[in-house]
């Protein structure tokens, strides 16, 4: 199994709206892709900004490519992300999962 990790930041006042937007876009995109084994979307408010950390679990590189496209190291963005995000990782990190419950 492979864990995919991405981070982005919004202004604190946009955080609740971005949460809702993520549930309508990213969450659906992740969970509707064959080979997805779970997601965890988190938020941390600090200093007038909100950090979003999205982790997802995938059964294979083929499943990640089905979600992310031919370059799985590139982050996936949706139409209105520019409206919310003040900073974002353009790439993602992948980790081989060797133990999980």
Sign of CA dihedral 86, 49, 3, 29: negative
Using CB atoms within 10 Å of the CB of residue 27, give its burial: 0 to 12 exposed, 13 to 18 middle, 19+ buried. middle
Residue 84 belongs to a domain with what CATH number? 3.30.70.100
pLDDT band at 28 (very low <50, low <70, confident <90, very high): very high
Q: What is the pLDDT of residues 69-90, one digit of tens each?
A: 999 999 999 999 999 999 999 9
What gap in Å lies between CA 51 and CA 88, rounded to an integer? 9
Q: Which domain holds residue 10?
A: 2-96
- pLDDT score for 83: 97
What gap in Å lies between CA 19 and CA 70, rounded to an integer? 27
* Tally of structural domains, the chain: 1
pTM (2 d.p.): 0.94
- Evaluate whether residue 10 is within a structural domain: yes
- Evaluate whether residue 101 is within a structural domain: no
């Amino acid at each position: 199994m492979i864990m995919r990790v991405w981070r982005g930041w919004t202004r604190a006042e946009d955080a609740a709206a971005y949460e809702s937007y993520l549930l309508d876009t990213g969450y659906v995109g992740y969970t509707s892709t064959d080979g997805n084994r779970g997601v965890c979307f988190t938020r941390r408010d600090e200093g007038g900004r909100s950090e979003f950390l999205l982790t997802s679990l995938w059964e294979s590189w083929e499943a990640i490519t089905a979600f992310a496209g031919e370059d799985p190291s590139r982050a996936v963005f949706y139409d209105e992300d520019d409206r919310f995000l003040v900073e974002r990782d353009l790439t993602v990190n992948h980790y081989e999962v060797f133990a999980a419950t």
